[in-house]
């Protein structure tokens, strides 16, 4: 068992507003390949900017579409891990918990998290590339992007591509939660992707206790309470330490 600092256990028992901020490391523990790791076989010869930029989609929509359809099929084989379930467990005990994720999968939803804030969108959502209208999910073997009923534009995944700004609504929701949080967890993220990495810093500057769960060092090491190890091990033990069963 991990010996958690008393300060943290007591803070969690007293807390109402906890903010979770998760990154690729949490999905990787489920075996979900990262963007680059997914670039195998046919896809190995492409550069990321040929698959994940608005320019690439404008130039060659079918190739970009097929890449995301392939990634959707990869995602279908992956299940949430104990870290996702532990976060959903926090939400069940502390209803004002807010979950902000940089991940574009839906593993938090599958674990039971009600409404994760997706800062970078989700590969499972679609929108019109032209007018932005939300579009429905389609079978993951459809090889060409459907057309928008409203404007005839092409369907694209509703995720943030390289060179695109973060969508305003989730960003503002995440910032508001950061300003109110009593405790903020930064989990499985290198804390180097901006502006997303500002979320835990804003929470800390507003007075929250910053807790980091990561196997590797990050820029947050000097300012966080660090729990070294995989989130899928640390988080379930933390739940048990705070609320012994």
Whichever of 129 and 209 has its CB closer to Zn ion, that residue is: 129
C-alpha 240/C-alpha 153 separation (Å) is: 50
**Residues engaged in binding Zn ion (CB under 5 A):** 128, 130-131, 133, 148, 150-151, 153
Q: What are phi and psi of 117, to 5 degrees?
A: -85, 115
C-alpha 30/C-alpha 162 separation (Å) is: 25
- What is the nearest approach in angstroms of Zn ion to the Cβ of residue 153? 4
* CA distances (Å), origin 182, targets 177, 178, 205: 10, 9, 11
Whichever of 136 and 244 has its CB closer to Zn ion, that residue is: 136
Secondary structure element (H or E) that encloses residue 162, with its range: none
100 is in an annotated binding site: no
**Residue from 120, 140, 172, 194 carrying the catalytic annotation:** 120
Whichever of 2 and 131 has its CB closer to Zn ion, that residue is: 131
Instruction: Select from 200, 129, 191 the least CA-distant residue to 159.
Output: 129
108 catalytic residue (yes or no) = no
Q: CA 119, 124, 38, 99 torsion: positive or negative?
A: positive
Instruction: Select from 93, 85, 97 the least CA-distant residue to 183.
Output: 97
188 is in an annotated binding site: yes
71 is in an annotated binding site: yes
- What is the nearest approach in angstroms of Zn ion to the Cβ of residue 2? 50
151 is in an annotated binding site: yes
Give the residues across from 186 on adjacent strands.
Answer: 21, 212
Tokens of 213: 């769960």
Instruction: Select from 3, 4, 12, 9 the least CA-distant residue to 183.
Output: 12
- What is the nearest approach in angstroms of Zn ion to the Cβ of residue 131? 3
39 is in an annotated binding site: no
Whichever of 92 and 131 has its CB closer to Zn ion, that residue is: 131
- What is the nearest approach in angstroms of Zn ion to the Cβ of residue 130? 5
Residues annotated as binding site for NAD(+)?
A: 102-105, 188-190, 214-216, 231
Residues tagged in the binding site annotation for Zn(2+): 128, 131, 148, 151
Binding site membership for substrate: which residues? 68, 71
Active-site residue list: 120
């Amino acid at each position: 068992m991990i010996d958690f600092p008393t300060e943290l256990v007591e803070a969690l028992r007293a807390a109402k507003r906890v903010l979770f901020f998760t990154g690729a490391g949490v999905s990787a523990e489920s075996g979900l390949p990262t963007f680059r790791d997914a670039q195998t076989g046919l896809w190995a010869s492409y550069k990321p900017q040929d698959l994940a930029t608005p320019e690439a989609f404008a130039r060659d929509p079918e190739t970009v579409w097929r890449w995301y359809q392939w990634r959707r099929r990869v995602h279908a084989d992956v299940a949430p891990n104990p870290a996702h379930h532990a976060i959903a467990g926090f939400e069940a005990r502390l209803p004002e918990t807010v979950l902000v994720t940089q991940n574009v999968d839906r593993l938090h939803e599958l674990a039971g998290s009600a409404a994760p804030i997706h800062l970078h969108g989700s590969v499972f959502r679609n929108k019109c590339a032209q007018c932005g209208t939300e579009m429905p999910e389609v079978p993951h073997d459809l090889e060409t992007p459907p057309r928008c009923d409203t404007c005839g534009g092409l369907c694209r995944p509703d995720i943030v591509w390289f060179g695109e700004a973060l969508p305003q609504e989730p960003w503002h929701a995440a910032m508001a939660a950061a300003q109110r949080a009593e405790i903020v967890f930064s989990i499985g993220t290198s804390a180097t992707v901006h502006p997303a990495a500002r979320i835990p810093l804003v929470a800390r500057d507003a007075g929250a206790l910053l807790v980091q769960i990561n196997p590797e060092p990050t820029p947050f090491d000097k300012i966080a309470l660090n729990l070294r190890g995989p989130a899928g091990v640390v988080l379930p033990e933390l739940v048990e330490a705070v609320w012994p069963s």
